Amino acid sequence: MKKFLVLATALLLTACASYDVQQAMRPDNRNIDPKLPNMEAIFETGKALETNGATAASGASAATSVQLNNEFATLFRREVEKNLINEDGPVKGKLVLEPIFVDVDNNVAWALTAFLLGIPQLFGVPGSSMTSKWELELNVLDKNGKRIARYSADVENTEYEALYYGYSNLHPITSNLRKAAIFEGYKKALDNVIKQLQADIPTLSTKLK
C-alpha cells in the first residue's frame, strides 16, 4: 500500500500542467470592423489587485503607478491595439480599465478525496481547485477627459488540479493552479467588457472627434 501511495503521488505531481502566462497574454484576432479611432489604453489599478493578492499570485510585482506594466495591463493594451482601435491618426481619447474587485479562493472540499488514498485522482477526479472572482470596469473617455461610456463585468472562474488535465498546485501562492484561476478569470471579464464595447463602436466613434 505504501508503494501505491508513493506512485499515485508521483503521478499526480508529474501529470499536472503548467500555466503559460506569456501565451495567455496574446489576444486572438476578434475581426472587429469598424474599429474605434486611435485611443490610449490605460490599465488603472486601485487597491483591488494588491489587497487580494492577484499581482503576487500571478508573478507581478505590486506598484502604485496608475498605468502598470504587468500581465493584466499587457493583455489589455494588446487587445486594444490589435482589435479595438485604428492606430493611425491623432489620439481621440482613452480606454481606461480598472479592476474594482478581485478575489481568489482555494476550494477545500476536494481534500476529502485524500481519505480515499488518492484513488479518485487516478480516474480524473480533481485533487483541488481555485476560484477567482473579478469585477472590471471599462471607461471610454474623449480627448477632453469626459466619460462617454462605461462597461462592467462580474465573473467567476474555476480551475482544477487534476491528473491528465489539471494544473500543478505545489505552492499555495505561486502555483500554476492559482495563476490560471486568476488570469483566466481576468480574461473572461475582459472579454465580457470588450464585447459590450464592440456593440457600441459606431455610436462611440461619432463622439470621439
Question: 34-105+132-161+169-207 has which fold?
Answer: Rossmann fold (3.40.50)
Q: Which three cell numbers stand for residue 88?
A: 493611425
Q: How far apart are CA 203 and CA 142, in angstroms?
A: 13
pLDDT per position as a tens digit, 123-150: 454 567 889 999 999 999 999 999 999 9
State the average pLDDT over residues 169-198.
89
Beta strand pairing call for 93-107 and 128-142: antiparallel
Grid look-up 505545489 returns 170
Residue 64's pLDDT band (boundaries 50, 70, 90)?
A: very low
Where does the pLDDT of residue 190 fall: very low under 50, low under 70, confident under 90, or very high at 90 and above?
very high
Q: Judge whether 93 and 39 are in contact, CB under 8 Å.
A: yes
Cβ–Cβ < 8 Å for 197, 140: yes
Residue-range domain boundaries for the chain: 34-105+132-161+169-207
Reported as a single tens digit per residue, the pLDDT across 99-114 is 999 999 987 654 555 5
Joined grid coordinates for residue 141: 473617455
Averaged pLDDT, 155-182: 79
| Tally of CB atoms within 10 A around 174 | 12
pTM of the complete model: 0.79
Q: What percent of the chain has pLDDT over 90?
A: 56
Signed CA dihedral, 81, 83, 87, 93: sign only: negative
Give yes or no for a contact between 71 and 20, defined as CB atoms under 8 angstroms apart.
no
Alpha-carbon distance of 37 to 90, in angstroms, equals: 8
The whole-angstrom separation of Cα 75 and Cα 193 is 14
With a cut of 50, say whether residue 56 has pLDDT above it: no
Compute the mean pLDDT over every residue in the chain, rounded to the nearest whole number.
80
Q: Tell me the pLDDT tens digit for each residue of 38-51.
A: 999 999 976 555 54
